[in-house]
Homo-oligomer: A and B are copies of this chain.
Amino acid sequence: MPFGYGLPAFFLAAFADGSNVPLAMLAVFGAAKLLAELFERLKQPGIVGEILAGILLGPSILGWVRPNDMLSALAELGVLFLLFRVGLEVKSSELLQVGKTATMVAFLGVVAPFLLGWGIMWLWGASSIESVFVGAAMVATSVGITAQVLASKGLLSHAASKVILAAAIIDDVLGLIVLAVVSSLARGGINVPELVFTGVGAIGFTIVVAKWGTRAMGTVVPRLEQRLKAGEVQFNVAVIILFGLALLAMYAGVAAIIGAFLAGMALSDSLQPRVHALAHGVSELLVPFFLVGIGLHLDVSVFSHVETLILSTLILLAAVLSKLVGCGLGALAMGRADALRVGAGMVPRGEVGMVVAQIGLNLDVIPASVYGVVVFMAVATTVIAPPLLGLSFRNVRPASPGD
């Protein structure tokens, strides 16, 4: 671990035992916003600056901050509220309308990176189980980054945005199945009934909430509002539904953020603008922790070998191109411009790829150097996606900039 250029012990102590919450908040939030400002001035996406703030503060460069329980919890809360807020701006009927295109996008966007990642590793001389794991780690899109870019540019109502969001949900379910298959392979065999059970549960949960959630909330929220007396009723109900659906999503086998997104979508017709603003406050405060958290995970020390550096570049190129081309092909019926937008929106892998690589590392089927390669791919795709999105949407006028 390269231990920075001053102050590291001071910072690490404050973060490690959580004894100095103001310092931890100030350092992470302040660094994120400082770099966001710098990037905006250089006409680059602020979100990239916030991820780079994490790389800068983290073990890669300064070594002042290391990932810990408190920062992870704030990061997870941040991305949950981000997806909830994005859900609030989306109508489920509109997502269901683009279901067919989104399914194509998701499917091709899973197959292409898996095959490409697996192929590269196999040609590189890795074992077949190692190749399969790297392929699997390249599958799942992390929709948080794209959602943040689209929301901040006021582009959530664009047709391509709907396809991206719907495809990201389906992608998450497919990614779950891929992960279940490769994990079983690594453990020695596939349990087909369990796999079917998991798949059906995940798909069932998502469809039920997407299809009937809005109507259910339209009935439940006004009644609760009439009957409950304590404080900000709508906000409290919204928070409980948000975490409740996030939890159910986890039990159903999909990511908690999918549950949060579905909760937002189900509640989009039932909440007052005031509650939107309250939820927006939470995500404004905590999304920087999600972005910085991504950067914190990168450890550049893996690149001391030239070989690893070459492999990282190859895998990164494969990760970007396979989603751009795979997802783009799936959305080609919308025209080339929209196909490119959809492809760019599906590029970021973020924390999902890291989780898969972590499992592979724990199961001892991928070595530490390959784990580093996958983490690099996951972080780098999130850094590349915002400018790609900006480029692909450059001729589109926002519907409601800022919020």
- Which residues on A are within 8 Å of B, measured CB to CB? 17-18, 20-26, 29-30, 33, 36-37, 39-41, 46, 49, 68-70, 72-74, 76-77, 80, 152, 228-232, 235-236, 239-240, 243-244, 246-247, 250, 256, 259, 274, 277-282, 284-285, 402
CA distance A203 to B69 in the complex (A): 35
Complex: chain B residue closest to A77, CB-CB? B21
Closest residue of chain B to A17, judged by CB? B69
- CB neighbours (8 Å) of A49 from chain B are 230
Give CA–CA (A65, B309) in the complex, Å: 45
A229 and B37 within 8 A (CB): yes
Task: Give the CA-CA distance A261 to B20 in the complex, in Å.
Answer: 17
Measured in the bound complex, the distance between the Cα atoms of B21 and A80 in whole Å is: 10
Copies of this protein in the assembly total 2
Which of B33, B243, B282 contacts A22, CB < 8 Å?
A: B243
Contact B33 A240 (CB under 8 A): yes
Q: Which of B25, B26, B39, B70 contacts A70 (CB 8 A)?
A: B70
CB distance from A149 to the nearest CB of B (A): 12
Q: Roughly how many angstroms separate A368 CA and B229 CA in the complex, as a whole number?
A: 40
Q: From A68, which residue of chain B is reached at the shortest CB distance? A: B69
- The verdict on A250 contacting B80 (CB below 8 Å), with A26-B240, A285-B239 known, is no
Q: Which of B23, B247, B282 contacts A282 (CB 8 A)?
A: B282
Asked if residues B230 and A37 are in contact (CB atoms below 8 Å), the reply is: yes
Which residues from chain B contact A152 at a C-beta distance below 8 Å?
A: 231
- Chain B positions within 8 Å of A240 at CB level: 26, 29-30, 33
List 9 tightest A-B contacts by C-beta distance, closest first.
Answer: A281-B281, A278-B281, A22-B246, A26-B243, A277-B277, A36-B230, A18-B69, A22-B247, A40-B229
